[in-house]
Amino acid sequence: MLERFPLALDGADWVKRMQTPPEKVAMLKMLFAEANPAIRAAFEVRTAPWGFTIPIGVMRAVKPA
């Protein structure tokens, strides 16, 4: 792992960009709200304004000859 960094996403902006239907947005909000504490912590789930953070990792690999 060369580098790790968080990518914070605003939920409202993200679902708008993804053109997510309103019923799916409601489902996402419910799943985030009901997620267990470990998942909420891992993805830094926020409720106001709602959003989450994706942990990003940069890796380097070498293909064997």
In a domain, 9, yes or no: yes
Tens of pLDDT, residue by residue over 11-63, are: 999 999 999 999 999 999 999 999 999 999 999 999 889 999 999 999 999 99
Tell me, yes or no, whether 65 lies in a domain.
no
Is residue 19 in some structural domain?
yes
In a domain, 54, yes or no: yes
> Cβ distance 59 to 2 under 8 Å?
yes
**DSSP letter at 3?**
E
Q: Quick one: CA torsion of 24, 29, 31, 33, rounded to 10 degrees?
A: -170
Query: Is 24 inside a domain boundary?
Result: yes
Say if 64 falls within a structural domain.
no
What is the C-alpha to C-alpha distance for residues 14 and 1, in angstroms, rounded to an integer? 27
> How would residue 1 be classed by pLDDT, with cut points 50, 70 and 90?
confident
Q: What is the per-residue pLDDT for 50?
A: 93
Residue 59 pLDDT: 94
Instruction: Give the structural domain span for 42.
Output: 3-58
- Domains in the chain, number: 1
Q: Domain for residue 33, yes or no?
A: yes
